[in-house]
Structure 1
Amino acid sequence: MDYAQFQALSREDVAQLVRDAGPVTGVFALNGTRRWFQLEYGHEGQAVGQAYFEAITDRLIELTALLFDYGVHTLLVPLLSPHLFTSRGQEYTSRTIGALTYLTRTPKFLDFYRQYHIAARFYGDYAGYLVDIGQSALLAEINTFNEAHLDEVRHRLYWGVCAHDSVTTTARLAVELYAATGQIPSNEEMIRTYYGADIPPVSFFIGASKPRAFDTPLLLTGREDLYFTVAPSPYLNELQLRDILYDHLFARRKAHSKYHEMTAADWDALRSFYEQNARQTLGVGMRVHEWGLWQPTNQLEFDRR
C-alpha cells in the first residue's frame, strides 16, 4: 500500500491494519509536559499546580485514547523518573505524589479506564522511593489499583514510574521464581511477573526530543521501530500518528532490496543521495543556550526527481 492510499483510509480501517499486525505494543514516552503547559496555558515562571494537572490529564487521556482508537492493544507510558521524587525539592515531590493519585483516583481517568475497558496498572521500581518519602499508604493504594480485575479487557495501559533501572528488581524476581520452581525463568515468565500479564515485545516507541529509548524493561528486542517528535509529547497529533503507523506497517516492512533489478540510473541516484548526506547523522543536534534545550539540526538532502 502506498502512502496516499493509506492516508485516504478511515481511522477504523487503519486501526484494523494495526490490529491485523498485532497485538501491537506501543510506548508513548511523555516528555516536555511543562513546556507544553507554559506555551498553551501558562506564563513564564508559573508554578506547576492544579491547572497543570488538569490540562495534562485531559491531553494524556486524549492521546492514549487516540492510540487505542488506532488499534494499539497495549500501551506503556513512562511518566515519572526518580529525580522527580528526590532532586527538585519538597514542593515538586508533593506535586509528583499528586500526579500518581490523579491516575488512581481522578474521575476522568477512572471513567476513561471503564469506557475503553482498560486494564491499567503501574510498573517500575517505585515502591522503595515511596516508602523512603513516607508514602506507604499511597504504595498500598497503587498495589490495590494494580490488582483490580476486569471481566472484559480490550486494552492494557501501563504507567511507568521509576522504571529507569530494573536490574535489581528483575534479579530479585528471577531469584524468587527460581526458588519457587527450581528452574531458570524464561523471558516470558519474567515479563509476566514484572508486568502482571503476558505482553508482546514493543512494536514501536514514540519519544520526544533526544533520540533514546528508555523505561521499558524486558520488552525491547532491537526490532522495535523508534520515533522521536521534535515538539514536546503532548503536541502529538493524529496526522503525525498516521505517518508513524504508515512507516511502521509499510515503509519499514518492504521485501529485501532488489539490487538485481536496479538500473544504472538507480545506482547513480543512490550514490548521489549518500554523497549529499555523507556528513549527516540522525540524532545529532545543538543546544540552544538561550532556552537550555537540545534541538535537532536540519538533516537529509534528497533529490526526489
Structure 2
Amino acid sequence: MEREQVLAMPREEVRRYAPKTVVWAPGGTRRHAALAGVSVDGRYFDWAWDQQFGKVELFFDLGVQRFFSPVLGPPQVREVGIYQDQLRAALARLCDEQSLAFYQKLGVRVRFYGAHNLPFASDLFSATEQRTAENGPRELWWTMVISRAEEAIWDATQAAIQAGARSFEQAVRAYYGQDLDPVDVFIGFGKPQAGYLMPPFLGERADLYWTTFPSYQIDESDIRTIFWDHRFGRTTWQADKTNRYADIAQSGLRERYEQHTIVGVGERIGTFWHQRGL
C-alpha cells in the first residue's frame, strides 16, 4: 500500500493498520511554546496540558491500544528554579478531576511506572490507577525516571529477580504488574536517542522514529505517515533473496548512498541542536 492511500483513507480504515503499542516521548515543548508566544514561566503548563492531551486523544482515535508517554526524566529533575514547583503541580494535574474526566471520555485505564520514586505523589498516582481500573481495554501509561537513565531498567531487573522470573514474560509481569506486548513504534524528538524513554523489557522490536520539529507540532498526517512506514514501508525483508539484487543498479540506490547522509549529526542553532538537513 502506498503512503498516499493511508493519508487519504478514513480514520476507521487507518485503525486497521495502526500499531498496537506506541511510545511517544515529547520534546522541544518549551521552545515550541516560546515560538508560539506562550510564556514558559507563566501559561506554559496549561498550554502543554492541552497540547499533550489533545495528541494523546489523536493517537487513540487513530487506533493505538496502549500508549506510553514519558512525563519526567533526569534532565527535568536536574533543572533548578521555579520550574521545580511548576513541575510538581503539573504531575499532580495528571490526576485531577479534569484529567480523570478525560480518561473516562477516552475509556482508558491509566497506569504509571517510576511513580514509587516520587514519594510526594505516589499515593495520588495509585488512586488514579484505581479510579480508572474499570476503563479500558485501552491503556495510557505515564512514565517517570528520576535519578539516572538506567533507573527504570534497574528497577525492572530487580523486580524480575525478586519475583523469581524464569521467562521474559514473567519478568515483564513482575515489573508492570500485568502482561504487556512489545512496543511497536517509538516516536521521539531531536537527537536520535531512546534510552530511559523506552519502557524496559519492551523496546527490542520497536521501529524508531524521531521528528525534527517539536513534538506538539505532530499532526494527523505525520502520524499516518509513521503508521504507513511501520506497517508497509519497512517490510522489505525477504527469506529468498535470489533475485533481490538483479536490478539494483537501476534502482537509484547508488545515488542515495553517495550522498553519505548520517542521521544523528546535527548543527547548533542558537542554544539548540538540530538535525543537519537530510
Partner of 2:59 in structure 1? 67
CA contact (8 A) 2:66 2:138 kept: yes
Please point out which of 232, 242, 247 is paired with 2:229.
247
Q: C-alpha distance in 2, partners of 1:237/1:16?
A: 19
Q: C-alpha distance in 2, partners of 1:274/1:5?
A: 25
The Cα shift of 1:251 comes to 0.6
Q: Does 1:294 align with 2:273?
A: yes
Q: Residues 30-85 of structure 1, C-alpha deviation per residue, up to 9 Å, x if partnerless?
A: 1111111112232xxx4433x21211111111101111111110010011113433
Q: C-alpha distance in 2, partners of 1:172/1:245?
A: 34
Please point out which of 146, 160, 163 is paired with 2:129.
146
Q: Map 1:20-39 onto structure 2 (within 5 A).
A: 24-39=20-35
Q: Map 1:226-265 onto structure 2 (within 5 A).
A: 226-256=208-238, 260=243, 263=246
Partner of 1:9 in structure 2? 9
Alpha carbons of structure 1 residues 235 and 90: separation in structure 2 relative to 1, 3 Å = same
Partner of 1:110 in structure 2? 100
Partner of 2:116 in structure 1? 127
Please point out which of 93, 96, 101 is paired with 2:92.
101
3-state SS of 2:203 partner: coil
RMSD between aligned residues? 2.2
TM-score (norm 2): 0.89
Alpha carbons of structure 1 residues 271 and 15: separation in structure 2 relative to 1, 3 Å = closer
How many residue pairs get aligned? The number is 272
Alpha carbons of structure 1 residues 231 and 274: separation in structure 2 relative to 1, 3 Å = closer
3-state SS of 2:274 partner: strand
TM-score (norm 1): 0.81
Unaligned stretches of 5+ residues in structure 2: none
Q: C-alpha distance in 2, partners of 1:70/1:40?
A: 27
Q: Residues 122-167 of structure 1, C-alpha deviation per residue, up to 9 Å, x if partnerless?
A: 112x433x34xxx2xx222122223345334131111111163224
Larger RCO, structure (CA 8 Å, separation 6 or more):
2
Q: Residues 202-234 of structure 1, C-alpha deviation per residue, up to 9 Å, x if partnerless?
A: 10001011111132211111x211111111110
Partner of 1:302 in structure 2? none
Give the letter for the 1:298 counterpart: G
Partner of 1:224 in structure 2? 206
Aligned-residue identity in percent: 29
3-state SS of 2:142 partner: strand
Partner of 1:303 in structure 2? none
Partner of 2:177 in structure 1? 196
The higher radius of gyration belongs to 1
CA contact (8 A) 1:34 1:48 kept: no
